A and B are shown apart, each in its own frame.
Chain A
Amino acid sequence: MSSILSNVLPAPEDPVLSVIFACRDDPCPVKLNLSVGAYQTEEGKPLVLEVVRKAEQQLANDLYCDKGYLPIDGLADFNKFSAKLILGDDSHAVKENRVVSIQCLSGTGSLRVGAEFLAKHHQQRVIFVPNPTWGNHPFIFTLAGLSVEYFRYYDPHTRGLDFEGMLEDLGAAPSGALVVLQACAHNPTGIDPTLEQWEQIRQIVRSKGLLPFFDNAYQGFASGNLDSDAQSVRMFVADGGECLIAQSFAKNMGLYGERIGALTIVCTSEDVARKVKSQLLLVVRPMYLSPPIHGASIVTTILKNSDMYKDWTIELKGMADRIISMRQQLYEAIQARGTPGDWSHIIKQIGMFSFTGLNEKQVRMMAKEYHIYMTYDGRISMAGLSSKTVPQVADAIHAAVTRIP
């Protein structure tokens, strides 16, 4: 029987999924999956924050809970508190009513809605992303109707930031182009500009009239401090210029599966903000009508209540500290084995991921012989390490580096 679907091709295998499946199918009991972009405890288990459970219990006990549709732009209080979280309580932009914030489906959804809006309304449709960047970025922007270009970012020689290259490429960008900047804890490299470097980036972005689109998925998760991690964004907003911000609560509140985030657009005036908001609603409605309530309710409950907020910052710092400790332990273990090369990038990099500098051959060998799985670009999730597994990983790295060039 002929099928109308015969020309539907099988989609290409997702590269990270194939790593996850390979790990899943590995019968070895000491296998370790370091490709997961989700925080795990010392015991290698996913974590639901205590304060999140508390918020959920509170919500479940609320007999008057209304599951009627949220407005197209989501829960109003969520929008308000999310904006304050990234922009600061004393933000002038917020006080001047020129900030639009709408609830979206985590970071991805915020990026997509923002990109669709820009494709419709922004006269320049080229968007620059760092090389390398999160794998989903180019797909999101391309499907939204933007055209993706790269600026230099990672320097494989230093395993650090190619700052000169970055400034050069941004300087050469067409005026008015869009530029994606990861606010902190760059994925996949773990390399962030210093504050001084951010200031230079800001200057070149503003002088070339580029429009920044911040991807803010790790606020609080990088340094352990919510305000410190927001400095890059706040620096740009403070100069009075416009920007977009995609915010995610997947990692810093552990709400991965609830899909909760926000798209914020900082405009130059209240009037523009009003019009921008009305147009954002037109993007959302034919995509999914209105966003899901559960994650938004949890976040709002926590951000609104000063005790819960405090508890959250403590748990968040706990997660960030554990990751920093894993970096330290891995670095020391590698040093102790006398592994050749400079491995200081492991402790210099920040956030959930580290770009180890391992090549694909070495990565495959580590999977095959040591049952340690990471993505083929050599990126490991520090959040998947524990004190118990650090030695195994250090051994594997040592073997890979010494046996395979």
Chain B
Amino acid sequence: MASSMLSLGSTSLLPREINKDKLKLGTSGSNPFLKAKSFSRVTMSVSVKPSRFESITMAPPDPILGVSEAFKADTNELKLNLGVGAYRTEELQPYVLNVVKRLEALASFSSLLLISFIHFLNRMASFQAENLMLERGDNKEYLPIEGLAAFNKATAELLFGAGHPVIKEQKYVATIQGLSGTGSLRLAAALIERYFAGAKVLISAPTWGNHKNIFNDAKVPWSEYRYYDPKTIGLDFEGMIADIKEAPEGSFILLHGCAHNPTGIDPTPEQWVKIADVIQEKNHIPFFDVAYQGFASGSLDEDASSVRLFAERGMEFFVAQSYSKNLGLYAERIGAINVVCSSADAATRVKSQLKRIARPMYSNPPVHGARIVANVVGDATMFGEWKAEMEMMAGRIKTVRQKLGKDWSFILKQIGMFSFTGLNKAQSDNMTNKWHVYMTKDGRISLAGLSMAKCEYLADAIIDSYHNALLYWETPIEL
């Protein structure tokens, strides 16, 4: 029987506090009616029976992870996977952040010296943290529902800056450890559904593909605000402001803190001020998705400036954080949801409700990633090394953009992991079918999946795709 340290004991009557609305048959429920056949046999013999899942259809492959599957199946040796937003080294292996101290220890492995040290010196600050954890003999008891306290403190400080009034004594911000960015967004979406009935979320056009899935499954209505301008391959600022202005008062505006996914286009500081103005004017609620802090410019503080601007304004707002990219902790699923409130009392109430949402979803969050982050950020030496690694990785991405971008000046204006090439679907298909370059169908490439050596190959592929895959589409970009 599943239970936890925080288990609720038993419930033998109808549970209290059940939202009666939830008892209605849920979601879209578009299943054809299938009467379950009653089983007349009572013996143990095995036989083919009708399945009660017979009417289930095959779900479409995931648009992003599905790209990786197609890539894996491709046997061509020139193939490139630029689909998934995960950092790759020059040798296109997943990169685990390097820590200078480990360099000395690992140098004793003579075979490692033969191969590029970025690939083999793949120990990050987290390696040190993990070993520290092992040495200390940390136990594996359940975390509280809100997660590791040391992590929650560290993550809020990283976001707002240590000593910022909004997190002083952790009073005004409700911070809950979440399952990376996705899980944190989902907790917030569930809170919105419960307490902001009818409010909708505005998401950028385009935005990360999973955003709408999250809001759909949480039953929160959403619509789009203009963002990407295909003519300039830049920000449609006028459209963005107009759409935000037009939204019903009290809407949630989903903003990417930095390194917009998928376009790589961020508002300038001046534009951020105007965005804050219009949001305040319409009493909207900002909802930041911060998945790349430090990864965009190389500076943690600079990348948090948009969020901090809003905090300065005394606004109440939401921020989802992820440590998947900047600490390379993708698979540990570590992130947080922060709700900046106007009073300590509100923060307490909000925190209690977020816990109430997390408990029937997964009870309490995983401890490992939280400890790694808390240890890295909490240790001055390790944190300093981490910041240096950050700057190195972000710098590499900038270099790749520069090398790729001789004729692609718009790319230089974009920052972060992704570049929106402006290729349409037919052109993207040509990239894959002819050149074995895998990218998502919206023309997005992950520059972190690109090595210096492959830049020329990619440039050739892009040029060819533009000219030769052109169908009945809008004007291609002039090269």
A residues lining the B interface (CB < 8 Å): 1, 3-12, 14-17, 20, 35-38, 46-48, 52-53, 56-57, 60, 63-72, 92, 105-109, 111-112, 119-125, 131-140, 142-148, 150, 154, 175-176, 182, 185-189, 203, 206-209, 211, 215, 217-218, 235, 238-242, 246, 248, 250, 254-259, 265, 267-269, 272, 274-276, 278-279, 281-283, 285-295, 351-353, 375-377, 379
**Neighbour of A5 across the interface among B6, B26, B51, B346, CB < 8 A:** B346
Q: Which of B140, B210, B214 has the most CB of A within 10 A?
A: B140
Q: Which of B176-184, B383-391, B460-468 contacts A (4 or more CB under 8 A)?
A: B176-184
Question: Chain A nearest CB: distance from B144 CB in Å?
Answer: 9
Q: Are B367 and A68 in contact (CB under 8 A)?
A: no
Q: Are B4 and A37 in contact (CB under 8 A)?
A: yes
**Neighbour of B54 across the interface among A20, A215, A272, CB < 8 A:** A272
CB pairs A–B below 8 angstroms (28 shown): A4-B283, A5-B342, A8-B191, A11-B353, A15-B9, A60-B130, A69-B65, A69-B84, A119-B25, A132-B11, A134-B10, A138-B14, A139-B359, A139-B360, A154-B12, A209-B39, A248-B2, A256-B4, A259-B365, A272-B51, A275-B53, A282-B213, A287-B183, A289-B180, A289-B182, A293-B331, A375-B9, A377-B10
- Contact partners of B55 in chain A: CB under 8 A: 121
CA distance A375 to B4 in the complex (A): 13
Within 8 A of A (CB), among B332-373: 332-333, 339, 341-343, 346, 348-350, 352-353, 355-356, 359-369
Q: If the complex has contacts A11-B355, A217-B2, are A63 and B7 also in contact, measured as CB distance less than 8 A?
A: no
Q: Are B331 and A285 in contact (CB under 8 A)?
A: no
4 more A-B residue pairs beyond the given contacts A64-B122, A134-B8, with a C-beta to C-beta distance below 8 A: A16-B8, A60-B131, A272-B53, A287-B183
Q: Are B10 and A288 in contact (CB under 8 A)?
A: no
B3 at the A/B interface (Cβ < 8 Å)? yes
Residue interface mask B136-164, A partner, CB < 8 A = 1 = 01011111000000000000000000000
- Contact partners of B324 in chain A: CB under 8 A: 69
Nearest B residue to A66 via CB reads B94
Q: Are B120 and A63 in contact (CB under 8 A)?
A: yes
**Neighbour of A123 across the interface among B33, B195, B283, CB < 8 A:** B33
Within 8 A of A (CB), among B123-143: 123, 126-127, 130-131, 134, 137, 139-143
Q: Are B316 and A38 in contact (CB under 8 A)?
A: no
Q: Which of B56-64, B261-269, B434-442 contacts A (4 or more CB under 8 A)?
A: B56-64
Q: Are A207 and B40 in contact (CB under 8 A)?
A: yes
Q: Are B59 and A5 in contact (CB under 8 A)?
A: no
- Contact partners of A285 in chain B: CB under 8 A: 62, 182, 210, 213
B166 at the A/B interface (Cβ < 8 Å)? no
Q: Are B250 and A20 in contact (CB under 8 A)?
A: no
CA distance A254 to B142 in the complex (A): 10
Q: Are A242 and B10 in contact (CB under 8 A)?
A: no
Q: Are B183 and A288 in contact (CB under 8 A)?
A: yes
How many of chain B's residues touch chain A, expressed as a range? 35 or more
B290 at the A/B interface (Cβ < 8 Å)? no
Q: Are A48 and B183 in contact (CB under 8 A)?
A: no
Q: Which of A48, A121, A208, A292 has the most CB of B within 10 A?
A: A292
Q: Are B356 and A11 in contact (CB under 8 A)?
A: yes
- Contact partners of A36 in chain B: CB under 8 A: 5
B residues lining the A interface (CB < 8 Å): 1-12, 14-19, 22-23, 25-29, 31, 33-59, 62, 65, 84, 86, 94, 96, 106, 109, 120, 122-123, 126-127, 130-131, 134, 137, 139-143, 179-183, 186, 191, 195-196, 210, 213-214, 216-218, 250, 283, 285, 314, 316, 324, 328-333, 339, 341-343, 346, 348-350, 352-353, 355-356, 359-369
CA distance A203 to B339 in the complex (A): 51
Nearest A residue to B199 via CB reads A4
CA distance A292 to B134 in the complex (A): 18
- Contact partners of A37 in chain B: CB under 8 A: 3-5, 7
Q: Are A123 and B7 in contact (CB under 8 A)?
A: no
Q: Which of B7, B19, B36 has the most CB of A within 10 A?
A: B7
Nearest A residue to B190 via CB reads A143
Nearest A residue to B43 via CB reads A239
Question: Chain A nearest CB: distance from B60 CB in Å?
Answer: 8
Nearest B residue to A278 via CB reads B59
- Contact partners of B316 in chain A: CB under 8 A: 3-5
Q: Are B360 and A112 in contact (CB under 8 A)?
A: yes
- Contact partners of B179 in chain A: CB under 8 A: 105, 287-289, 292
CA distance A144 to B361 in the complex (A): 9
- Contact partners of B10 in chain A: CB under 8 A: 132-135, 187-189, 375, 377, 379
Q: Are B2 and A267 in contact (CB under 8 A)?
A: no
CA distance A185 to B2 in the complex (A): 10
Q: Are B328 and A67 in contact (CB under 8 A)?
A: yes
Nearest B residue to A122 via CB reads B52
Q: Are B214 and A352 in contact (CB under 8 A)?
A: no
**Neighbour of A65 across the interface among B18, B96, B183, B191, CB < 8 A:** B96
Question: Chain B nearest CB: distance from A90 CB in Å?
Answer: 13
Q: Are B1 and A12 in contact (CB under 8 A)?
A: no
Question: Chain B nearest CB: distance from A231 CB in Å?
Answer: 13
**Neighbour of A268 across the interface among B26, B48, B141, B218, CB < 8 A:** B48
- Contact partners of B37 in chain A: CB under 8 A: 209
- Contact partners of A248 in chain B: CB under 8 A: 2
**Neighbour of B106 across the interface among A15, A63, A120, A150, CB < 8 A:** A63
Q: Are B49 and A16 in contact (CB under 8 A)?
A: no
Question: Chain A nearest CB: distance from B9 CB in Å?
Answer: 3
**Neighbour of B94 across the interface among A35, A68, A71, A140, CB < 8 A:** A68
Nearest A residue to B37 via CB reads A209
CA distance A109 to B41 in the complex (A): 33
Q: Are A294 and B332 in contact (CB under 8 A)?
A: yes
Q: Are A256 and B140 in contact (CB under 8 A)?
A: yes
- Contact partners of A379 in chain B: CB under 8 A: 9-10
- Contact partners of B182 in chain A: CB under 8 A: 285-289
CA distance A203 to B43 in the complex (A): 8
Q: Are B51 and A242 in contact (CB under 8 A)?
A: yes
Q: Which of B6, B18, B41 has the most CB of A within 10 A?
A: B6
Q: Are B25 and A145 in contact (CB under 8 A)?
A: yes
- Contact partners of B250 in chain A: CB under 8 A: 4
Nearest B residue to A145 via CB reads B26
Q: Are B349 and A134 in contact (CB under 8 A)?
A: no
Question: Chain A nearest CB: distance from B209 CB in Å?
Answer: 9
